[in-house]
Amino acid sequence: MDLSTFATLLLLLFNFLQATQQINIEQTQIEQPQIEQSQIPQQININQQNNQGGSIFPAGGGNISSTGTNYIYVIEPYILGPTENTGLDLSQLRNTPLNLEANYYCLNGYQGYINKNNIYLYRTETLSVNCPNPWVELRLNGFLSRYVRLKNSSTIDPQGIEFVLGDTNKDNIIDDADLLKILFSLDTSIDDSKYDPTADLDQNGKITQDELSWLQRFFGYKGETKPSFSIEPIYYLRLNLDGVGNTINRDININYRWQCENRRLEGNENGLINIRTNSYVFNFNYSSLNLYDCYRPTIHFSGSPFLLTEDKILSSMDPNNPDNITLINGDIDGNSIIDDADLLKVLFNYGNNNDDALEADINFDGMVNDEDLEIIRRNFGKGVLGRG
């Protein structure tokens, strides 16, 4: 490679990394504290972080006997993200045969392995396993792995599973290594000696800026693998209430709403948490909400006088290291911004501890006082963009 070509590659790399810094790519990092198992179930993590890149597919099954019955599940693999106006020739990729590896895990402890060739995107494919509704670790070449639970399906109503394209080196993370693969093959075609078919994301025989743009969209994403501590994973979350001490004199009701990044799962689920202690840790059970295909689930909390200024991507499946979310205090009237109206409610109820004044007792100590005013002063003007 001559000096000018090398300099051009370095410049492309610099411009790419500058662009990616402007994108909010949430890297899922697992955190940790001790939990009472009696705290509300509700959802689970998909984008796992204790995955060190790649997953190992054993050639055999588990040491516990299967049910002896074959169960047929019909899946339809999709590409996560836009399918039009991306620059990539995704129509060509639809007609490219792929290899599918699947490790499945039964709730009775049995596990098995499936390897199938000539799998196509946007077409149905059957998986035969010998236990009902197993968790399965799926990998397509060129895509990040998925860890989902198979549900009852048919060729008429297949289970759509979306995959992230861009893992050129099969390490189960889209990172600098994938970027360099594309950069070193940039502007080459299938007849060139420098052409690398693994860097040709859409398999159309040429590697262009479109590959770089696609990688930028998903840079930092990691694949999903079976967690080491549970077949049926659960997301753990510590909820911290701003300005509230450990002693709370009455129940606090917090609303939550989750939704998935998948374009095929556009709905959301609402729920209510009743808590009596700060730094409350609870869990979201994946299967109880039927989130079989959920990718990078996000959650939003609200409930006067608390608000969350931005949605949180759930990531931790470790009960000893939950995600942490702090709810901002002071939105007494529930209009998603802490403003003059909230300040006036505290001022008009200052010094009172009767039932009518409780809504202004935002630190939940039983009295409207200087501490409540300080919370309003500290958070004044904060709110949720686009709400209120």
- Condensed to tens digits (0 to 9), the pLDDT of residues 65-98 reads 456 678 999 999 989 887 777 888 888 899 999 9
Q: Give strand pairing partners of 301.
A: 256
pLDDT for 119 equals 94
pLDDT for 182 equals 95
pLDDT for 309 equals 78
Nearest to 76 by CA among 160, 163, 143, 164: 160
Q: Do the Cβ atoms of 97 and 105 come closer than 8 Å?
A: no
- At 24, the pLDDT band (50, 70, 90 cuts) reads very low
pTM, two decimal places:
0.63
- At 3, the pLDDT band (50, 70, 90 cuts) reads low
Q: For the residues 37-66, what does the mean pLDDT come to? A: 34
Q: For the residues 180-198, what does the mean pLDDT come to? A: 94
Please calculate the CA angle 25-29-31 and round it to the nearest 5 degrees.
145
- At 245, the pLDDT band (50, 70, 90 cuts) reads confident
Of 78-82, 187-191, 228-232, 258-262, least confident by mean pLDDT is 228-232
Beta strands in 83-141 (DSSP E): 98-105, 111-119, 125-129, 135-140
Most confident of 33-37, 39-43, 307-311: 307-311
Q: Do the Cβ atoms of 248 and 56 come closer than 8 Å?
A: no
Q: Do the Cβ atoms of 305 and 332 come closer than 8 Å?
A: yes
User: Which of the 8 DSSP states describes residue 88?
Assistant: S
Higher-scoring residue by pLDDT: 214, 312: 214
* Delimiting residues of CATH 2.60.40 domain(s) in the chain: 51-218, 234-379
Distance, in Å, from the CA atom of 133 to the CA atom of 322, rounded to the nearest integer, reads: 27
The fold for domain 51-218 equals Immunoglobulin-like (2.60.40)
Q: For the residues 255-262, what does the mean pLDDT come to? A: 75
How far is CA 36 from each of CA 30, 248, 253, 320, rounded to the nearest angstrom? 19, 19, 19, 10
236: tokens are 């753990």
Task: Given CATH 2.60.40, say whether it is the number of domain 234-379.
Answer: yes
Beta strand 125-129 pairing with 71-79? antiparallel
pLDDT at residue 225 tops 90? no
Q: For the residues 150-164, what does the mean pLDDT come to? A: 89
In what helix (H) or strand (E) does residue 347 lie, and over which residues does it extend?
helix 340-348
- For 6-18, the pLDDT digits (tens) are 556 666 666 666 6
pLDDT at residue 59 tops 60? no
Most confident of 30-34, 190-194, 298-302: 190-194
Most confident of 80-84, 107-111, 329-333: 329-333
Of 38-42, 259-263, 363-367, least confident by mean pLDDT is 38-42
Most confident of 18-22, 298-302, 382-386: 298-302
Distance, in Å, from the CA atom of 217 to the CA atom of 93, rounded to the nearest integer, reads: 18
